[in-house]
Structure 1
Amino acid sequence: MNADHKVAKNHYQPEAQAHIIPAANLDPETMALLVKCCPAGLYHIMGDGSLRVDVHGCLECGTCRMLVDEQALKLWRYPAADYGIHLRFG
């Protein structure tokens, strides 16, 4: 079974509030880094130049948190208990 099939078996229980919120005014280089580094592909640069994060499906790996400075992500925390990713490798 390849990695895509394993990831597809995961279950995500969303919270009411996002657990990752990017800062409002990020420079284009930081936005490009976040888009490129996220293994789940959750970061997207919108047509107006803003950064959107789809936290549903977040693997909670912390890659984005480690690669940018503390000002780039206004909020990054693990979801509350019983929320977030539930890994099921099959």
Structure 2
Amino acid sequence: MGDIQDKVNIDDKLFLNSYDVDTTSHLAIKDSTVCSNCNEKVCTFICPAHVYEWKDAKLIVGYEGCLECGACRIGCSHDNIDWTYPRGGFGIQFRLG
């Protein structure tokens, strides 16, 4: 095993990825009132890319940084996230990550 100094943290690995961002989001909230009444707000902490953020009592979806893992749609107990893959050629391009 290598030294602890040989290990790369997750932020460094994510930095190696690149994105070809589409102008149209592949993520959508089906009903914003459901999110407003949600006590768990799972999407804000289950997403490893922190795509979902509450700002001024509104859920902001920063689809541009999505890792396309689908954790948000699985974690949302209200099935309130419309998740699809980005259009062909758009989205994340993993590089040694």
What TM-score comes out, normalization by structure 1 length? Answer: 0.86
Q: Which runs of 5+ in 1 are unaligned?
A: none
Partners in 1 of 2:14 and 2:48 — Cα distance? Answer: 11
CA distance in 2, matches of 1:45, 1:57: 16
The structure whose Rg is larger is 2
> Which residue pairs with 2:43 in the alignment?
34
- Higher relative CO (CA 8 A, sep ≥ 6), structure 1 or 2? 1
Separation in 2 of the partners of 1:33 and 1:63?
10
TM (norm. structure 2) is: 0.80
Q: 1:64 aligns with which of 61, 66, 72?
A: 72
Q: Partners of 2:96 and 2:13 in 1: how far apart?
A: 5
Query: How many positions carry a matched residue from both structures?
Result: 86
Deviations 1:39-70 (A, max 9, x none): 001111011x1100100110000000111133
Unaligned runs of 5+ in 2: 1-7
Q: CA RMSD in A?
A: 1.4
Q: Percent identity?
A: 31
- 1:68-79 equivalence runs, <5 A: 68=76, 69-70=78-79, 72-73=80-81, 75-79=82-86
